[in-house]
Amino acid sequence: MTFLESNIDELVSANHPYRKVLALIDFKELTRELRKCYSKMGRGGYPVESGFKALLLQYMEDLSNREA
């Protein structure tokens, strides 16, 4: 195994608060309506769920756009 290969379970503890958030919130359902806003033209962007999770994390940790 190289330093680039790692398992998320090895890096993040099982009782980490964000694991609880992921278990409580169904992000796929929460962002269902937002997927309609994506354009069909050009190369696909990041998944809507990933962007929403990033915004939530930015809010929870009070991060600036640059820090996020």
Domain boundary assignment for the chain: 8-60
pLDDT in tens, 22-58: 899 999 999 999 888 888 888 888 889 999 999 999 9
Max Cα distance, the chain (Å): 41
Q: What is the C-alpha to C-alpha distance for residues 12 and 8, in angstroms, rounded to an integer? A: 6
**Choice between 26 and 3, residue whose per-residue pLDDT is larger:** 26
| Residue pointed to by tokens 């359902």 | 29
Look up the pTM and report it: 0.72
Q: Residue 29's pLDDT is what?
A: 94
- Identify whether the C-beta of residue 39 lies closer than 8 Å to the C-beta of residue 64: no
- 47, exposed or middle or buried, with CB in 10 Å at 0-12, 13-18, 19+? middle
